[in-house]
Structure 1
Amino acid sequence: MDYGQTAELLARIQFAFTVSFHFIFPAFSIGTASYLAVLNALWLWKRDPAYLNLFEYWKTIFAITFGMGVVSGIVMSYQFGTNWSVFSERAGAVIGPLMGYEVLTAFFLEAGFLGIMLFGRKRVGEGLHMFAVAVVAFGTLVSATWILSVNSWMHTPAGYSIDELGRFVPENWWEIVFNPSFPYRLTHTVLAAFLTTAFAVGAVGAFHLLRDRTNRQARIMFSMAMWMAAVVTPIQIFAGDMHGLNTLEHQPAKIAAMEGHYDSHDGAPLILFGIPDDEAEETRFAIEIPYLGSLILTHHLDGRVEGLKAFPEDERPPALIPFFAFRIMVGIGFLMLGIGIWSLWARYRKTLYEARWLHRAALVMGPSGFVAVIAGWFTTEVGRQPYTVYGLMRTSESLSPVDAPAVGASLTAFVIVYFFVFGAGVFYLLRLMHRTPVLEDDRELERGPHRASGINPGPAQENTIREGGDRAD
């Protein structure tokens, strides 16, 4: 047994496991922070208690999500020293300052104003409270900017030199931060975070509409989420296409793995389904659409698409994971587009709050954003192999001098601890989302004699509630 390769595999699995858990929380908190800022601004503008109630409803969920993201991020970062110390030593002069800037700017902004956002409305005044909410939302975006700059540099390194010891030395920080793939990766990831939040919020709204279609807060939630789905999903599909073209330019082997192409083609087909086999160098059971692959990737029917055979065997990424992860991500994207279009049709017919099958579909799609961002992350990171710094530093060269049993023991500990700690956290988040979002006045109404006697509001009252919900969106 080659213990070196086993230790590398276990270290990669450990990092993939921890980063997958970590990534779902920032993906949700980025969108939720912006959503809270919009809700608070609407409350200050319209003085409609429903928006304030929704802000209070979602701020607790955001706080827990933010905390879980911080904890999982700290645990993940320690692995740079334990499992990937050689990478840290050689690339630390570039990676370290960027991650330090993230802490000094974004994290300080978020942590400094989070308490005011959560508890300061009555203590500091509404103006300063709104400023704090906006700063927290801005801080989440700044945090994403720095982290994605780091990650993008590892995919498309720029602005560096390499000294006699093989260490990366910064030469131009502008080129390092704004490396060739950074704008595309940042746009694609932030939009994904907004859609993740939109479909989570939409699912919660749909759940409560299925229980009570007159719930005004649920109506507002669902309406806002469906607007986001209808508007942002087409933009995300376009951004994803642009990101794909950038990847084709700088990482063509990754594109070949994602598309399942082993042979180069002029007028490449689009492989809808198949099973890539790296040993046989073919995609088995392929279902193809002629020429569509070239049209999507090069915007020409006869455009040339390089296959994996065009690259040396030791420079090819494994095709199986990027191939299927990419299709999961794209498939979910088009399902999101379908939900957005469906909601527009229901809105046009004035049945947005009565369309039960739309509500059920939105409820099922609630976790879809999380699945999509993880699938996209796996596509990106596995497609970068066998490198940590693309084309310059291999993953096998980045590993610490650790034994496989030690990495295996820490991986086992991570799995056990994460299962209980984050399992409990997610369970609590779902419990919070299960609570019915109602105003205090509504709670008093529910305690009144007409509720106690089982008498429901009459048609006039229901029409009043429904009209109020329609005006809210």
Structure 2
Amino acid sequence: MTDALILARAQFAFTIAFHIVFPVFSIGLASYLAVLEGLWLRTRKPVYLDLFNYWMKIFAVAFGAGVVSGLVMSYQIGSNWSVFSDKAGPVVGPLMAYEVMSAFFLEAGFLGVMLFGREKVGDRLHFAATLAVAIGTFASAFWIIAVNSWMQTPAGYGINAQGQFVPLDWMAVIFNPSFPFRLVHMVLAAYLTTALVVGAVGAFHLLKDRAQPAARKMFSMAMWMITLVAPIQILAGDAHGLNTLEHQPAKVMAMEGHYQSHPDGAPLILFGLPDQKAGIVRARIEIPKLSSLILKHDPNAPLAGLDTIPRQNWPYVPIVFWSFRIMVGIGLAIAGLGALTLLARARGKLYDWKPPQWLALGMGPMGFVAVLAGWVTTEVGRQPYTVYGLLRTAHSASPLDAPAVAASLAAFAVVYFTVFGAGLFYLLRLMSQPPHAHETGPGGPSPLRAAGLTPAPGIAPDRLLHPAE
């Protein structure tokens, strides 16, 4: 059973690591598309419509990949975690159903209009469809975070005679103690992740041709987003950490590497080698009393350590310790990128100074790495529970033999690397092409000419593309 449990956890980690990057990207990109189309309707500057059409194709591919990878999650929860499904289903099941019925149907229903309906419904209704898709992606995040937050900080429930969690107060279930902090933190992470991708693509094309209008615009917009949102995310992360200290102290102890209690102020361990068996952090580099200052706003405030908790309830500290530092390190690097591009903007060299562009290009995928590191911190830090403090992971798994779980994990690995590897290659290929302008010019050829079509004399190409204008 132990081997099957480890394999089931590995399978869940593998599949959700593939899945989570697509919704995160979709949430941020849907909002970016809504902003682009709104700016185009307000200003009628072609560059905004060019960027909208460019990123809309990328959004469609990412959205489809997210849907496909999400289907597997339902399958494996039923197959590998049937005990969890039985015990937590009365609470978790309806929340997941709300996500499908409200958020996913909204996204999928209006996606077709956004992709193919401009000439059918007109510009303003098309913008309404784009807004609906953006709202749908946010609503999807709302319900999924509500589910996971309830598993982290359960509230509003009772336990029936069959040992199942049942809802007593849906408002308390949804708006559980950690939900607001986790929702804000996750949505901001989605926006920053998307901004890093957009900025990297803009930097790539700027390095090839710094006069390209669409590349300049997308790079500038992405860097503004990073400059403004990264500091807010740091503050949101701090508030989330204080909330976690209140409701999941063992997770914070693991994040900080505090095996021992510190009655006179706890140090901030910057780096070290956690030894789970010995219960110490070896070769550590630390700043005295800084952890107490951050967590308690008092350098001399006492902080309890894992020595106050039974060892069988400890999370696995080495993973949580390092994943937390990866997430925080990338977050600080993102803030640094924002500050550097703000300096370049102030000097009037945003498009001419290459170091920020190279840095933005290199940091393109770092938002995804930070999201995955944050997810690992959250989920491994919750162990050994699936429902924190109430249902242990070892008691949540299906009674399966290890070879059965191993076979499905191997099949998933082959299919995922093949299918999503091809999808990633296609996305990178789309991003490597510059956005095309509506008319032949610095931004590229007209879509009509790219398709081998030539308008009749006296008819403007834009009239063929947008006859309703």
Name the structure 2 match of 1:459: none
Residue pairs, 1:371-450, within 5 angstroms: 371-442=369-440
Residue pairs, 1:352-371, within 5 angstroms: 352-371=350-369
2:171 paired residue among 168, 171, 174: 174
Alpha-carbon distance, 1:166 to partner? 1.2
Distance in 1 between residues matched to 2:414 and 2:153, nearest whole Å: 35
Name the structure 2 match of 1:327: 325
| Alignment CA distance shift 1:446-1:208 (3 Å) | closer
| Cα root mean square deviation, aligned | 1.2
The one-letter code of the counterpart of 1:294 is S
Distance in 1 between residues matched to 2:285 and 2:126, nearest whole Å: 55
2:92 paired residue among 72, 95, 113: 95
Alpha-carbon distance, 1:306 to partner? 1.5
How big is each residue's C-alpha offset from its partner over 1:60-113, in whole Å with a ceiling of 9 and x where there is no partner? 000000000010001111111100000000000000000000001000100110
Name the structure 2 match of 1:220: 217
| Alignment CA distance shift 1:5-1:445 (3 Å) | closer
Question: % of aligned pairs identical?
Answer: 63
Alpha-carbon distance, 1:440 to partner? 3.5
Does the 8 Å CA contact 1:215/1:438 hold for their aligned counterparts? no
Distance in 1 between residues matched to 2:441 and 2:376, nearest whole Å: 45
Distance in 2 between residues matched to 1:319 and 1:347, nearest whole Å: 42
Give the paired residue count: 445
Higher mean displacement: 240-249 or 165-174: 165-174
How big is each residue's C-alpha offset from its partner over 1:414-463, in whole Å with a ceiling of 9 and x where there is no partner? 11100100000001000000001131323599789xxxxxxxxxxxxxxx
Name the structure 2 match of 1:155: 152
The one-letter code of the counterpart of 2:232 is I
Distance in 2 between residues matched to 1:174 and 1:230, nearest whole Å: 35
Distance in 1 between residues matched to 2:297 and 2:429, nearest whole Å: 47
The one-letter code of the counterpart of 2:397 is L
The one-letter code of the counterpart of 2:410 is T
1:124 paired residue among 121, 124, 148: 121
2:67 paired residue among 44, 65, 70: 70
Name the structure 2 match of 1:283: 281
Question: Are 1:145 and 2:136 matched, yes or no?
Answer: no
Does the 8 Å CA contact 2:27/2:134 hold for their aligned counterparts? yes
Alpha-carbon distance, 1:164 to partner? 2.2
| Alignment CA distance shift 1:42-1:285 (3 Å) | same
Name the structure 2 match of 1:14: 11
Name the structure 2 match of 1:235: 232
Question: What secondary structure sits across from 1:164 in the alignment?
Answer: coil
Question: What secondary structure sits across from 1:441 in the alignment?
Answer: coil
Question: What secondary structure sits across from 1:283 in the alignment?
Answer: strand
Distance in 2 between residues matched to 1:47 and 1:107, nearest whole Å: 31
Higher mean displacement: 303-312 or 405-414: 303-312
Question: What secondary structure sits across from 1:284 in the alignment?
Answer: strand
Name the structure 2 match of 1:33: 30
Name the structure 1 match of 2:203: 206
Does the 8 Å CA contact 2:33/2:130 hold for their aligned counterparts? yes
Does the 8 Å CA contact 2:268/2:286 hold for their aligned counterparts? yes
Name the structure 1 match of 2:42: 45
5+ residue gaps, structure 2: 447-469
| Alignment CA distance shift 1:89-1:124 (3 Å) | same
Distance in 2 between residues matched to 1:427 and 1:335, nearest whole Å: 26
Question: What secondary structure sits across from 1:285 in the alignment?
Answer: strand
Distance in 2 between residues matched to 1:255 and 1:279, nearest whole Å: 19
Does the 8 Å CA contact 2:213/2:442 hold for their aligned counterparts? no
Distance in 2 between residues matched to 1:447 and 1:229, nearest whole Å: 31
Query: Post-superposition, which runs of at least 4 consecutive aligned residues in structure 1 deviate over 4 A?
Result: 443-448
The one-letter code of the counterpart of 1:158 is A
5+ residue gaps, structure 1: 449-473
Does the 8 Å CA contact 2:438/2:445 hold for their aligned counterparts? no
Distance in 1 between residues matched to 2:138 and 2:442, nearest whole Å: 39
| Alignment CA distance shift 1:192-1:447 (3 Å) | closer
Question: What secondary structure sits across from 2:286 in the alignment?
Answer: strand
Does the 8 Å CA contact 1:276/1:319 hold for their aligned counterparts? yes
Distance in 2 between residues matched to 1:169 and 1:444, nearest whole Å: 61
Distance in 2 between residues matched to 1:445 and 1:196, nearest whole Å: 25
Distance in 1 between residues matched to 2:88 and 2:438, nearest whole Å: 55
Distance in 1 between residues matched to 2:162 and 2:443, nearest whole Å: 73
Name the structure 1 match of 2:454: none
Alpha-carbon distance, 1:300 to partner? 1.0
Does the 8 Å CA contact 2:37/2:52 hold for their aligned counterparts? yes
Does the 8 Å CA contact 2:27/2:190 hold for their aligned counterparts? yes
| Alignment CA distance shift 1:445-1:418 (3 Å) | closer
Using structure 1 for the length normalisation, give the TM-score. 0.93
Name the structure 1 match of 2:131: 134
Distance in 1 between residues matched to 2:69 and 2:35, nearest whole Å: 27
The one-letter code of the counterpart of 1:274 is G
| Alignment CA distance shift 1:185-1:446 (3 Å) | closer
Name the structure 1 match of 2:453: none
How big is each residue's C-alpha offset from its partner over 1:110-130, in whole Å with a ceiling of 9 and x where there is no partner? 011000001111110111100
Distance in 2 between residues matched to 1:136 and 1:447, nearest whole Å: 29
Distance in 1 between residues matched to 2:91 and 2:169, nearest whole Å: 10
